[in-house]
Amino acid sequence: MQTTAVYLLRHGSVVGAETRRFIGHLDVPLSALGEAQLTAVARRLACVELGGVYSSDLARTRRSAEILGAPHGLAPISVPELREFSMGRWEGLTGEQIRTRDAEAFARWMADVAGYRFPDGESLAELEARAWPAFERIVDRHRGGAVAIVAHGGTNRMILRRALGLRSGRLLAVGQDYAALSILVRRDTRWLLRLLNHAEPLL
């Protein structure tokens, strides 16, 4: 039985995280806290024999992947399909700002997060259509080994939900904090969850 391990990580905390804005495709950098978070995760995974490190092409994931790959001498490979949801007109806004500008649209999103299409942005189905095939290609490339993938809260939730066979309405039930690590193991065609949303303590 062939086993493949995927170390799935959300990027670290970003500059302006305290404002809790919808970021989406905005290219915001890691904060000092985010750098420290990733350094802690890199220490934890330093003894894991990784065959590669992948990330989306946005700065916050690329930098996270650089820190993660450094102990292994691995330069991250950017995969644009692993980007976060495009949140369209909502990008850069807080929930309160969106609610004030378009209360009806915000209420529809809150009622059906998995089914809602962000205004001028993407739906979960569209995110899945681009990101899941990219994820599968990475896993197939490292079949029988171990690989690290650094992506985003929405992207990672989709990957975990799809791998575990959860219905789309359970999307937000899968926690994804900044710099949190989840571990998926594929045995032949069956996925197993070994760790979910683990935040490494800072020293």
* Active site positions, annotated: 11, 84
Contact between residue 141 and residue 45 where contact means Cβ atoms under 8 Å apart? no
Q: Give phi and psi for 139, each to the nearest 5.
A: -60, -45
For the beta sheet containing 3-10, the strands, ordered from the edge strand earlier in sequence to the opposite edge, are 77-78, 53-55, 146-151, 3-10, 181-187, 190-198
Neighbouring-strand partners of residue 8? 149, 182
Residues, the chain, total? 203
Q: CA 199, CA 179: separation in Å to the nearest integer? A: 6
Cα first-last separation, the chain: 38
Q: CA 88, CA 24: separation in Å to the nearest integer? A: 8
Tokens 């996925």 -> residue: 191
Cα 158 to Cα 2, 60, 129, 152, 186: the distances in Å are 24, 19, 10, 10, 16
